[in-house]
Copies of this chain bind each other. A is one copy, B any other.
Amino acid sequence: MTQSDAYKPLTPETLPARLGKLPAMTTRLGEDFTAWTVKEVGDGNLNLVFIVAGAKDSVIVKQALPYVRLVGDSWPLPLYRAFYEHCALTRQAQRAPGTVPEIYHFDEAQALIVMQFLSPHIILRNKLIRGEKVTGAGEFIGKFCARTAFRGSELSMQSAAKKADVGVFSGNVDIPAITESLVFTDPYYDAEMNNHNALLDPVVESIRSNIELKRRVQKMLMKFASNTETMVHGDLHSGSIMATDNELYVIDPEFAQYGPMGFDLGMVTANFLMAYFSQPAHRGNELDEYQGWILDVIAKTLHTYRAEFTRLWQEERTGMLYPTALFESQGHDSSKACEQLLADTHTDAMAFCGIEMHRRCLSLAHNADFEDIENPVKRAPLEARNLQMGMQLILDTESVSDEHALIAMAKDYNQRSFV
User: Which residues of A line the B interface, CB within 8 A?
Assistant: 153-154, 159-160, 163-164, 166-167, 170-171, 173-174, 177, 180-181, 185, 188-189, 191, 208-209, 211-212, 214-215, 218-219, 221-222, 225-229, 258, 320-323, 325-327, 329-330, 332-334, 336-337, 340-341, 344
Further pairs besides A163-B171, A167-B171, A226-B229: 4, Cβ < 8 Å: A159-B173, A159-B180, A211-B334, A214-B327
Chain B residue at minimal CB-CB distance from A162: B225
Q: How far is the CA of A320 from the CA of B327 in the complex (A)?
A: 40
Is B154's CB under 8 angstroms from A226's CB?
A: yes
How distant is A156 from chain B, measured CB to nearest CB, in Å?
Answer: 13
Residue with the greatest number of chain B CB neighbours at <10 A, chosen from A218, A327, A332: A218
Verify A218–B326 contact, CB threshold 8 A. yes
17 contacts between A and B (CB under 8 A): A153-B226, A159-B180, A160-B177, A163-B171, A163-B173, A167-B167, A167-B171, A189-B325, A189-B326, A191-B325, A209-B330, A211-B332, A212-B336, A214-B332, A218-B326, A219-B340, A219-B344
Contact A323/B225 with A159-B173, A214-B332, A336-B215 known, Cβ cut-off 8 Å: no
Among residues of B, the one whose C-beta sits closest to the C-beta of A225 is B154
Contact partners of A329 in chain B: CB under 8 A: 189
Q: How many angstroms from the CA of A320 to the CA of B181 in the assembled complex? A: 8
Counting from the closest, the 6 A-B pairs by CB-CB distance are A167-B170, A215-B337, A218-B322, A226-B229, A160-B173, A166-B170
- In the complex, what distance in Å separates the CA atom of A88 from the CA atom of B209? 40
What is the bound-complex CA distance between A183 and B330, given in angstroms? 19
A321 near B167 with CB under 8 A, answer no
List the B residue with the shortest CB-CB distance to A174: B160
Q: Interface SS of chain A: helix, strand, loop or mixed?
A: helix
CB neighbours (8 Å) of A214 from chain B are 326-327, 332, 337
Contact B173–A170 (Cβ < 8 Å): no
Write out the residue numbers on chain B whose beta carbons fall within 8 Å of the beta carbon of A180. Answer: 159, 320
B326 & A188 in contact (Cβ 8 Å cutoff): yes
Chain B nearest CB, measured from A211 CB (Å): 5
A362 to chain B, nearest CB (A): 13
The residue from B228, B340, B341 contacting A228, defined by CB atoms under 8 A apart: B228
* Measured CA separation A215–B225 after assembly (Å): 25
- The smallest C-beta distance from A226 to any residue of chain B, in angstroms, reads 5
Bound form: Cα–Cα A340–B180 in Å: 21
Chain B residue with Cβ nearest A177: B159
Shortest distance from the beta carbon of A361 to any chain B beta carbon, whole Å: 18
Are A341 and B188 in touch, CB under 8 angstroms?
no
Query: Is the beta-carbon distance between B163 and A340 smaller than 8 angstroms?
Result: no
* A273 to B65 alpha-carbon distance, docked (Å): 57
Assembly CA distance A334 to B209 (angstroms):
12
CB–CB B221/A321 < 8 A: yes
Please state if A222 and B321 are interface contacts (CB–CB under 8 Å).
Answer: yes
CB-defined contacts of A221 to chain B, threshold 8 Å: 320-321
Report whether B222 and A154 are in contact in the complex, using a CB–CB cutoff of 8 Å: yes
Chain B residues with Cβ under 8 A from A222's Cβ?
A: 154, 229, 321
Q: Which residues of B contact A181 (CB under 8 A)?
A: 320
